[in-house]
């Protein structure tokens, strides 16, 4: 449907604060990357906001501006970072230990990273069992800890003079837990914070602090966090955009490329066996069955949603899907994933696909963090609130309205993202009908 009136977007004036709970591999690779790009030491490969274009109008018009020239995004020069972690390492030390960024390049951005010391974390061992560190807040109850986080944020704002902020969860994966009564209403949640309810996770305390202050929140892990009525209500009430969950990188990213292709050709799938070896701290945390369960949920849901076995029972009614992550320290962040896909074609003839992806998890995640920072800030300046389905593109388990199923097909997600940008600027949405070229 053609849209003629552009939406009113507040300008991206002043600095944008980036709040990062968790200063591990993903966060430090992201920050080091931004600092490198700002100094002309690298290209922000993998980032739509920095490199992608958006086609406008008909294919004959030749209008394809860069996204960053089309919508008013914050500039990299305007980003100011802050983070929390239970380990005391500054961002330079954490990046060196994560061993993702080339050491020579890291030295060239050492100075800004060294200045970035983590604030004390809100942490509970019951939610992340495999790690423990000294840089943790003490408080009488969870409400007091939420207020301490809000105080950290206000101090950061006062010190740096940032005009706006966004928070992206880059902390560890918490153990799987389901929403309980304490998560059902904001009132119950706040009472739970005050009474130290054990069912409120640390990530929910960060999200609560951010939303209370009107700060957009993205969930990079498979944690439950904002998938609860209490925090969804808070986001709407405060007019804050949120999105999640679990960055779509590595093996699941591959899955969302290949599965829609097989389905597009109506090729059947008998089984999909995925296994990984991973040796970083994330791998260590995921070695705990409780944290892995959270990850498994988001990884497994992808195929079912893409293949729609209810519509295609002959092709996808009986897919055996298995996902394993094995902690294997020698590999560090250089994950290796194997997929064996048993497919069948014409007259049930069996075939196989093997994928061996030697990827760098944090290298794939860093540009997603950058895009989410810039797009969430844009969404807020556009007056958008609650779940941002157009940012599903970035997530393994996209948050969605209760009445619709999540969209997992990466190409539909990309179309939705770009159409949202067109809608913001009053451009025609692109339907790909294209009959007019053949009149
Ligand atoms: N790397 C990827 O491609 C990728 C993809 C999808 C999701 N993720 C998720 O992103 C998150 C970060 O990944 P990573 O590779 O950087 O892991 P990491 O272990 O290197 O970093 C996570 C950091 O969070 C800290 N932390 C844990 N709980 C915290 C808390 N309550 N408050 C503050 N800090 C806390 C840990 O001490 C650690 O330093 C993980 O949950 C991971 O599952 C990563």
221 lines ligand 1 (CB under 6 A): yes
- Classify each residue of 262-289 as buried b or exposed e, where b means 16 or more C-beta atoms within 10 Å of its C-beta: bbeeeebbbebebebbbbbbbbbbbbbe
% of the chain surpassing 70 pLDDT: 99
Report the atom number in ligand 1 closest to the C-alpha of 364: 3
Q: Is 121 in the pocket of ligand 1 (CB under 6 A)?
A: yes
Residue corresponding to tokens 């860093």: 366
pLDDT of residue 281: 85
Where residue 2 falls among pLDDT bands split at 50, 70, 90? very low
Separation of alpha carbons 271 and 320, rounded Å: 4
Cβ–ligand 1 distance for 24 under 6 Å, the answer: yes
> Ligand 1 pocket, 25 CB below 6 A?
yes
pLDDT above 90: residue 433: no
Summarize pLDDT for 359-405 with one digit per residue, the tens.
Answer: 999 999 999 999 999 999 999 999 999 999 999 999 999 999 989 99
Helix or strand or coil: residue 167? strand
Ligand 1 contact via 279 beta carbon (within 6 Å): no
pLDDT tens for residues 272-292?
A: 999 999 888 888 888 888 888
The string over 163-192, giving b where at least 16 C-beta atoms fall within 10 Å of a residue's C-beta and e elsewhere, is ebbbbbbbbbbbbbbeeeebbeebebbbeb
pLDDT score at 92: 98
Cα 389-305-52 angle, rounded to 5 deg = 45
What is the chain's mean pLDDT, rounded? 95
Please state, in angstroms and rounded to a whole number, the distance separating the CA atoms of residues 278 and 273.
17
Residue 3's pLDDT band, with cuts at 50, 70 and 90, is low
When comparing pLDDT for 2 and 96, which is higher? 96
Ligand 1: nearest atom to the Cα of 131:
37
CA distances from 268 to 255, 309, 349, 356 (A): 15, 10, 10, 21
Cα 388 to Cα 140: distance, rounded to the nearest angstrom: 35
pLDDT band of residue 4 (cuts 50, 70, 90) is low
Q: Which of 172, 249, 254, 332 to mutate to test the pocket of ligand 1 (most atoms within 8 A of CB)?
A: 172
CB 237 within 8 Å of CB 286: no
Query: Which residue has the CA at smallest separation from atom 12 of ligand 1?
Result: 170
Q: State the sign of the Cα–Cα–Cα–Cα dihedral 398, 403, 405, 407.
A: negative
- Structural contact between residues 42 and 33, judged by C-beta atoms closer than 8 angstroms: yes
Give 171-204 pLDDT, tens digit per residue. Answer: 999 999 999 999 999 999 999 999 999 999 999 9
CB of 87 shorter than 6 A to ligand 1: yes
Per-residue confidence (pLDDT) for residue 332, from 0 to 100:
86
Distance CA 319, CA 55 (A): 37
pLDDT tens for each residue of 34-81? 999 999 999 999 999 999 999 999 999 999 999 999 999 999 999 999
Q: 24 C-alpha to center of ligand 1: Å?
A: 6
Rounded Cα distance between 333 and 343, Å, is 31
Ligand 1 centroid – CA 285 distance (Å): 9
Q: Which tokens sit at 420?
A: 């949202």
Tens digit of each residue's pLDDT (9 = 90 or more) over 120-146: 999 999 999 989 999 999 999 999 999
The C-alpha angle with vertex 286 and arms to 284 and 292, in degrees rounded to 5, equals 165
Binned at pLDDT 50, 70 and 90, residue 1 comes out as very low
Q: Which ligand 1 atom sits nearest the alpha carbon of residue 362?
A: 1
By DSSP bridging, strand 164-169 and strand 16-21 are parallel
| 325 against 394, higher pLDDT | 394
State both tokens at 352.
Answer: 């196989």
- Mean pLDDT throughout 344-349? 98
- pLDDT(147) > 70: yes
């Amino acid at each position: 449907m053609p849209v003629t009136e552009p939406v009113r977007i507040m300008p991206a004036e002043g600095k944008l604060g980036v709040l990062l709970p968790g200063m591990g591999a993903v966060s430090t690779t992201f920050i080091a990357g931004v600092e490198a790009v700002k100094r002309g030491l690298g290209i922000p490969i993998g980032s739509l906001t920095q490199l992608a274009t958006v086609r406008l109008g008909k294919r004959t018009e030749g209008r394809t501006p860069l996204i960053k020239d089309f919508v008013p995004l914050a500039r990299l020069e305007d980003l100011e970072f802050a983070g929390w972690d239970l380990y005391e390492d500054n961002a330079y030390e954490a990046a060196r230990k994560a061993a993702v960024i080339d050491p020579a390049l890291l030295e060239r951005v050492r100075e800004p990273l060294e200045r970035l010391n983590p604030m004390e974390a809100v942490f509970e061992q019951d939610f992340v069992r495999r790690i423990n560190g000294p840089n943790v807040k003490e408080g009488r109850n969870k409400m007091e800890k939420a207020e301490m986080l809000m105080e950290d944020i206000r101090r950061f704002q006062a010190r740096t003079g940032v005009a706006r902020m966004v928070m992206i969860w880059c902390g560890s994966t918490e153990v799987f837990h389901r929403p309980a009564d304490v998560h059902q209403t904001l009132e119950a949640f706040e009472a739970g914070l005050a009474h130290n309810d054990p069912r409120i996770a640390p990530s929910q305390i960060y999200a609560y602090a951010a939303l209370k202050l009107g700060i957009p929140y993205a969930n990079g892990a498979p944690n439950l966090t904002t998938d609860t009525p209490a925090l969804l209500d808070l986001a709407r009430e405060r007019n804050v955009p949120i999105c999640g969950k679990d960055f779509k990188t590595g093996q699941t990213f591959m899955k969302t490329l290949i599965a829609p292709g097989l389905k597009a050709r109506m090729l059947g799938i008998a089984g999909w066996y995925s296994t990984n070896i991973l040796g970083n701290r994330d791998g260590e945390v995921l070695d705990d069955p409780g944290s892995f369960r959270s990850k498994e949920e988001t990884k497994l849901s992808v195929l079912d949603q893409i293949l729609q076995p209810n519509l295609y029972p002959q092709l996808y009614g009986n897919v055996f899907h298995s996902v394993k992550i094995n902690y294997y320290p020698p590999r560090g962040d250089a994950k290796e994933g194997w997929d064996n896909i048993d497919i069948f074609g014409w007259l049930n003839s069996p075939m196989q696909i093997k994928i061996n992806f030697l990827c760098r998890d944090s290298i794939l995640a860093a540009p997603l963090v950058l895009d989410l920072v810039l797009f969430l800030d844009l969404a807020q300046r556009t007056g958008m609130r609650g779940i941002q389905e157009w940012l599903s593109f970035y997530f393994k388990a996209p948050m969605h309205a209760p009445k619709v199923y999540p969209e997992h097909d990466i190409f539909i997600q990309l179309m939705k993202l770009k159409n949202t940008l067109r809608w913001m600027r009053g451009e025609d949405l692109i339907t790909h009908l294209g009959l007019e070229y053949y009149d």
